[in-house]
Amino acid sequence: AVTAYRLHFELPQAALIRMHVSADERYLFYVDGQIVGRGPERGSDRIWFYESYGLSFAAGKHTLVALVWQLGESAPLAQVGLAGGFLLEAEEPYDALLSTKFAAWESKPVDGIRFEMPADVQRMAWFVEPTQITDGARYPWGIERGEGEGWEAVTSRREDVAFPFGIYAAHVFQPAS
């Protein structure tokens, strides 16, 4: 599955904003329709990576969008996926305005993309991943700019809720190299 996440926001003045981004399993990150990053690096079930971006914004309205791939059972063995989702943490003073744990992010499924394994997958190496097939007639063109209908409020997930009981979060974050 591919899921899109978006956030519309407005800045009263120009700003340089530092933010940290990750997803389960992979993401493309757009600012005002322009791709600015992709990730995260491959890690493991105990070390999950995030990328950091220092982005300059002019005063005015902006849109952040992330397209997140979740390959699940179709993923190559070198690709770990635990619980699909997207995370953005902005540094102060923009945390409440932009971070996924505070801001009014929205999401929607991305139609027109499917994945198929190669025909003779039993004879392929362990790192072989599925082929992405994009149906241009069904694909929501303009989604990287946050356009289109069907966006819904995101449900937040807090992985560290059981930490006091000795149960650790599924994603233990590390800065990407």
* 40-93 residue pLDDT tens: 988 777 788 899 999 999 999 999 999 999 887 776 666 677 778 899 999 999
CA-CA-CA-CA torsion for 146, 8, 48, 71, nearest 10 degrees? -20
Element (H, E) at 98: helix 95-98
Q: How far apart are CA 32 and CA 129, in angstroms?
A: 30
Q: Which residues pair with 16 in a beta bridge?
A: 56
Q: Which residue has the higher pLDDT, 118 or 148?
A: 148
The per-residue pLDDT for 62 is 98
Q: Are strands 173-175 and 48-57 parallel, antiparallel or unpaired?
A: parallel
What is the structure's pLDDT at 72?
Answer: 74
Q: Residues, the chain, total? A: 177
How far is 55 from 8, CA to CA, in rounded Å? 16
Instruction: Kindly provide the b/e burial profile for residues 42-78, where b requires at least 16 CB atoms within 10 angstroms of the residue's own CB.
Output: ebeeeebbbbebebebeeeebbbbbbbbbbeeebeee
For residue 121, what pLDDT is reported? 59
Contact (Cβ atoms closer than 8 angstroms) between residue 99 and residue 88: yes
What mean pLDDT comes out for the span 135-144?
96
Stretch 135-150: mean pLDDT, rounded?
A: 96
* Global confidence as pTM: 0.86
The residue with greater pLDDT, 131 or 157, is 131
Q: Residue 162 — pLDDT band, cuts 50, 70, 90?
A: low
